[in-house]
Amino acid sequence: MPIGPGEQDVRRLQLTGGATYTLSLPKPWVSANNLDSRDSIRIDWRSSGELMLSPLEESEEQRTEITIDLDGLPPGALYDHLMGAYISGVQEIVIRSKSDIKRKTRNEIRRFLRSTRGFEIGEEGDSYSRLISLLNAGELPLSASLNRMYLLLSSLVRDIIEALQGADTDLISDHDEREREVDGLQYLIERQVGSMLSSSQIVKSLGISRKQGVEYANLARSLERMMDHADQMARLTLDSDSIPKLKIQNMPLSALPIWLDSIKTLMINLRERDAYQIEEARNSLKSAQLELEEHEESLWSGKRKAAPLLFEDRLSESIRRLCAYARDFGEILLNMLAYDSIKRN
């Protein structure tokens, strides 16, 4: 029985000419890639010992398309289907309906375009819309997107510290824009990593292994979750009628400089991979977490008014979660370090 996509086969090596080993290729694979005798095949010898075969003339990124039938979707479901298509790595998304597309549906399409990177409306009519990707998945290094996420996150936290100490709250009035940009970068990394799993050319363009790509996606998810809590702190600060007087040298604010120093160290070690520095940062974050837990337990033991106590309790919880997700970030770095250190014979 001929082998098909996703299946395995065992074939024997043959010795020809006394010095060359040959291996026959499955005919369905040759046909699917439009190959013929004497065509060239690229052979990539990977660090794991595996050989990756691909047609030499293979384009960097095959154009793929998906069609979404609006008539088969419940109201409000389009955005999730668009995001699923985006992360899967398709280059064109066609949205069709038997009747005219409603204004609310077009708003969902525009929301999707604001939330992602590289997609634009290429063609549009009363009952259809074609979205096309203008960004090659192998063009933007994953580390650049991670660094941008970190800068947006850390700058918002610094601005929150200033606002809580009496600075103008206009500093954090754009918190939702920063949060959306971090979300968009995380979706982009998910899309790129998904494309890596099916294209050796994108793996080569990005300059990292598929295993590293998956860990980069995990790092992006940790940063996105931290940004969620920074966004919550900004909303809490802006929505509160009276902010209690908090000092940077006291909990819970005193934990934020610890978090800032630790996440900076961890980001540096995305490149340096110093296990001692990573562990030191994670230990600092763990100590801050424990102090925040004790602080939260002590808040309700006195006779202070409920409103400022609730504000401080919610603030402390978000800072504690920032520390927890930063520790997860450090754990992922240690996993990457361990994987890179494996000796393969």
CATH for 316? 1.20.58.220
Question: How many Å apart are CA 264 and CA 275, to the nearest integer?
Answer: 15
Whether residue 70 sits in one domain with residue 50? no
Distance CA 224, CA 219 (A): 9
Residues 243 and 116 in one domain: no
> How many distinct structural domains can be found in the chain?
3
Write down the pTM of the prediction.
0.86
Q: Are residues 207 and 111 in the same domain?
A: no
111-116 long-range contacts (CB < 8 A, ≥24 apart) are 111/79, 112/78, 112/79, 112/82, 112/83, 112/86, 114/180, 114/184, 115/83, 115/180, 115/183, 115/184, 115/187, 116/83, 116/86, 116/184, 116/187, 116/188
Residue 310 sits in the same domain as residue 205: yes
- Indicate whether 200 belongs to any domain: yes
Q: What is the pLDDT along the chain (345 residues), one digit of tens a residue?
A: 567 776 788 888 888 877 788 888 888 888 888 888 888 888 877 666 778 787 876 544 467 899 999 999 999 999 999 999 999 999 999 999 999 999 999 999 999 999 999 999 999 999 999 999 999 888 899 999 999 999 999 999 999 999 999 999 999 999 999 999 999 999 999 999 999 987 878 888 899 989 999 999 999 999 999 999 999 999 999 999 888 889 999 999 999 999 999 999 999 999 999 999 999 999 999 999 999 999 999 998 877 788 899 999 999 999 999 999 999 999 999 999 998 888 554
State whether 174 and 198 are in the same domain.
yes
The residue among 133, 160, 184 that closes a domain is 133
Let me know: does 195 contact 89? Beta carbons within 8 Å. yes
Tell me which residue range forms the domain holding 189.
142-341
